[in-house]
A and B are shown apart, each in its own frame.
Chain A
């Protein structure tokens, strides 16, 4: 019933995961028949809550676990049975996992030494890595002498030193506070793009996924719910689960009143929805309609027309500085949220708690979802 994600532009697929399942102790299915492809140069995010299997999937890619079923292909080569030290894949760990008894220089050089690279080449590569992450003057320090942010940069440099075909990032921004996170995000993406390496990152933070990745796969209970660009996943979620997981959303339960190829009319308790896209179904079929708070407009006057608006009372006004979220209780006791940017300090009509308001939205902003 939902729209299909747009097909990828023609690019070579670097990573192909086919039907991978991982079962622990014969009972716990951490990863359940997952298939995905990652194109060359992409930053691919696995997004989900704890226990959804994203970390296990990452470990399968790295080689620390072997899949119970399924195969993994990197640049056409089947790497499923290869141990981690033979895969052209490197990982940046959430806790950085820097070797405490080695200096920054030695940490970065470590992987290159395992390859028996000649000494001069190693030195060259380490120097260029240090320059990339701007830690040249810290080369002789040990990890405990570095701040958290510096440690992360060393971890990044170390994982890029061997110029891997695929870079894995395990919750890269997890340990940082908000301000640092924003700054690091930008730096991280710019370094990755400068190097041009393909990336798979794992996170529970949707903001992280949305800002850093070019493709997001939303996971739950070991399966992928939806894959798509951040825009697709946010604006066109394919299920209620995905819609509710990413960002805030208002959900209306209702039934199909009438439908055709380019629109559908849905009746719910509080109002009628005129959705500007077609679906297949039948009259009377129970469905769910979703609209994002930032697409909800508030007004003290009744909007024109009979569809896509409802009336209610403001029960809470939550002020965030740059925007405000209004909680509006409708006639059927359902509470919906509307988000307004605080563009002017004085609004044309100031809306306060207790006011009676009309909430309206465009038919283009609605999405019909599977339950």
Chain B
């Protein structure tokens, strides 16, 4: 009885989570310009997508920003995580820790407003930067740093500290220890952090709206302005494409992860079959 209850609960919640996604995709093939009323299946909105210059430009911009944001976030996120795991005691550590975790929970609007006001003051003072690509980049990179720090930090925490010491014992100077030991071992989490922050940046609308300037519209900004006006079939088409890309990536990486794990488990089990120790 308990098992049926458990399974039902799980299935219902999954259905709830996937209902909007599935309907988005299905109705992207709806011929009617009235999004929610089904007329017939067609690809017309996909064709329209190919000609939608504004949308395509915004995709390119979002992609560019997301790429750089990913790299910056991994860089600063790793630095932050490294500093927090390695140095338990330094001047202003609690302050540092609060700053590193604040963007994770603070409402987007506050992050956006505060960053904008800061950048405007800087602009007053130094003459640049003008609101546009660079400012959006900084905003996303801040958010990304916080997330990357969590991802890389949890891996760093798991890592055996004895490995660092063993390396030093064998003649490694501290900088070499990072290059030869720490870095290769945290590489998977660096990749996860990159993908996470890339997605975050590609997806964000609030920060981008606060921080962008004339002529710089990211994909979420375009979608948002259209969505505010009402239902729009072009959005369905974009959505379907995005969902397809994301799903494929997530499924492929999951399968890859599961396979590697299975192979590793197999290798560990095999080691005892060699016979004597």
Please give the number of chain A residues whose Cβ is less than 8 angstroms from any Cβ of chain B in the complex: 31
Give Cα distance in the complex from A99 to B185, angstroms: 9
A147: Cβ under 8 A from any B Cβ: yes
A95 touches B162 (CB 8 A): yes
Q: Say how far A155's CB is from chain B's closest CB, in angstroms.
A: 9
Chain B stretch 147-179: residues in CB contact (< 8 A) with chain A = 160, 162-163, 165-173, 176
A85 touches B169 (CB 8 A): yes
B181 touches A99 (CB 8 A): yes
B271 touches A147 (CB 8 A): yes
Name which of B13-21, B59-67, B262-270 contacts chain A. B262-270
Q: Say how far A262's CB is from chain B's closest CB, in angstroms.
A: 51
Give Cα distance in the complex from A101 to B184, angstroms: 7
Q: Say how far A4's CB is from chain B's closest CB, in angstroms.
A: 36
Given contacts A99-B181, A101-B185, A114-B176, whether A93 and B162 have CB atoms under 8 Å apart is yes
A84 touches B168 (CB 8 A): yes
Number of A-B contacts (CB under 8 A): 71
Q: Which of B165, B170, B181, B277 contacts A162 (CB 8 A)?
A: B170
A91: Cβ under 8 A from any B Cβ: yes
* Chain B: CB-nearest residue to A84: B168
> Most chain-A CB neighbours within 10 Å: which of B167, B168, B170, B173?
B170
B170 touches A97 (CB 8 A): no
A150 touches B171 (CB 8 A): no
A148: Cβ under 8 A from any B Cβ: yes
Given contacts A84-B165, A97-B160, A145-B271, whether A110 and B170 have CB atoms under 8 Å apart is yes
Chain A stretch 80-114: residues in CB contact (< 8 A) with chain B = 83-85, 89-91, 93, 95, 97, 99-101, 110-111, 114
A114 touches B171 (CB 8 A): yes
Q: Say how far A133's CB is from chain B's closest CB, in angstroms.
A: 12
Q: Which of B170, B264, B271, B277 contacts A111 (CB 8 A)?
A: B170
A328: Cβ under 8 A from any B Cβ: no
A148 touches B166 (CB 8 A): no
8 pairs from A and B in contact (CB 8 Å cutoff) = A85-B171, A95-B160, A99-B181, A114-B170, A115-B171, A147-B274, A149-B277, A162-B171
A-contacting residues of B (Cβ < 8 Å)?
160, 162-163, 165-173, 176, 181, 184-185, 264, 267-268, 270-272, 274, 277
B-contacting residues of A (Cβ < 8 Å)?
62-64, 83-85, 89-91, 93, 95, 97, 99-101, 110-111, 114-115, 142, 144-150, 158-159, 162, 180
